[in-house]
Structure 1
């Protein structure tokens, strides 16, 4: 099932490609816009289903709160 991938691809296309394409002069501009969007999507965007924190912050909190008892060093 590719539903999640298609959703992310659709967001990327509508938010980056369709919106900014008139300002680009080379492939490097597309690459930079893509990198900026991926960084925003993963680190800054607030997500309603995870208490309005970024996915990056949510994952950090999860791993900070993990109890690692019983694991050999």
Structure 2
């Protein structure tokens, strides 16, 4: 899984959006890419919703299943 992500990362960001003026530019681009990947990309295995939305759904479902504590 890590190798697949690394290949995707290099193809989508490093090769397609370069050349970079310096490491500061590349570091900022990496942070933006990781934010997009974790929060806004549409994930096919999750029903074309962003991962962060699925996490929220899971948290809501998990909270609803928990019995009330006295």
Query: Per the shorter chain, which TM-score range?
Result: 0.7 to 0.9
Q: What TM-score results when the alignment is normalised by the length of structure 2?
A: 0.87
C-alpha separation in 1, matches of 2:51 and 2:31 = 17
C-alpha separation in 2, matches of 1:41 and 1:48 = 13
The CA deviation at 1:68 is 1.9
Q: What TM-score results when the alignment is normalised by the length of structure 1?
A: 0.84
The CA deviation at 1:49 is 1.2
Corresponding residue for residue 15 of structure 2 = 18
Query: Which of residues 65, 68, 72 is equivalent to 2:66?
Result: 68
**Which contiguous aligned blocks of 4+ residues in structure 1 show a shift greater than 3 angstroms?**
none
How many pairs align?
Answer: 68
User: Which structure 1 segments of 5+ residues have no match?
Assistant: none
> Which moves more between the two structures, 49-58 or 61-70?
61-70
Q: CA RMSD in A?
A: 1.6
For residues 32-56 of structure 1, what are the alpha-carbon distances to aligned partners after superposition, in whole Å with 9 as ceiling and x for unaligned? 0100100110100001111110111
C-alpha separation in 2, matches of 1:53 and 1:29 = 29
